[in-house]
Amino acid sequence: MHALLLAAGVGSRLRPITDTTPKCLVPIHGRPLLDYWFDLLLGTHAIERVLLNTHYLAHQVHRHVEGSRWQSRVDLVHEAELLGTGGTLLANRDYFGSSDFLIAHADNLTDFDPHWLITQHRARMPNVVMTMLAFRTDDPSSCGILECDADGIVQAFHEKVPDPPGNLANGAVYVVTPEIATHAASLGRPIIDLSTEVIPHFLGRILAVETSGYHRDIGNPESLQRAHEEFHPSRP
């Protein structure tokens, strides 16, 4: 299976750190966030190849990948203009062809088991087009909150709203079928947001599976500090 790792964001909430360092290279315990992702996806052999998009401070990301032990299994694609999460998927749909693939936001720090997520996806009900990693958040209003039925099928999705109903959140890691890209193409424009323009279309056809591991968005200084305090890394 191949994966799309979304790493092009500016990281404005993490300034001044991101004035000189792209968010995906922000260090956690002395290691760039991107290296945790490479170890998680490639080091466990869950994923064969990763497509990594770049935009902000792209030269730093390219240089880092070129020096990585995973360089031979990482393909880079540069976005002169940010396309949004769904737009990046659409622009690179030929990379994945007719196969299912994984999508992940590289600004999360996580230690979920990708083999487990892929296995859950392969065992899904026939009408399910996306298997979504979910986690329990301590800040529901800052996340996309899920309402699921007894089978784990997402029935409602609340993207960063005040007082959402619960704390089961979208972990921004997905295993998807090509139907996701087909729908993105049907919108008829190049810039698309996955969370607000694609996921709502498939309510009732998304399986949420909750990780028991660590998961945190490190998008602001407070979250980054908590990640340093809470996360205890181990290499595969």
User: Cα torsion at 115, 116, 121, 124 (round to 10°)?
Assistant: 150
> What's the pLDDT score for residue 234?
67
Instruction: Compute the distance between CA of residue 113 and CA of residue 211 in angstroms, rounded to an integer.
Output: 8
Domains annotated on the chain, with CATH: 2-230 (3.90.550.10)
> What's the pLDDT score for residue 29?
92
3-class secondary-structure state, position 203: coil
Question: What does the pLDDT average to over 11-24?
Answer: 85
Q: pLDDT for 174-188, tens place per residue?
A: 999 999 999 999 999
Query: Is residue 61 within 8 Å of residue 23, measured between CB atoms?
Result: no
Helix (H) or strand (E) holding 116: helix 114-122
Query: Is residue 108 within 8 Å of residue 216, measured between CB atoms?
Result: yes
Instruction: Compute the distance between CA of residue 114 and CA of residue 137 in angstroms, rounded to an integer.
Output: 20
> What's the pLDDT score for residue 10?
86
pLDDT at 221 over 90: no
> What's the pLDDT score for residue 236?
46
> What's the pLDDT score for residue 218?
86
Side chain identity at 11, as an amino acid letter?
G
Q: pLDDT for 80-92, tens place per residue?
A: 999 999 999 999 9
Question: What does the pLDDT average to over 130-144?
Answer: 90
pLDDT at 129 over 80: yes
> What's the pLDDT score for residue 190?
93
Q: pLDDT for 26-46, tens place per residue?
A: 999 999 999 999 999 998 999
> What's the pLDDT score for residue 17?
76
| Range name among 11-20, 54-63, 125-134, 223-232 with the lowest pLDDT average | 11-20
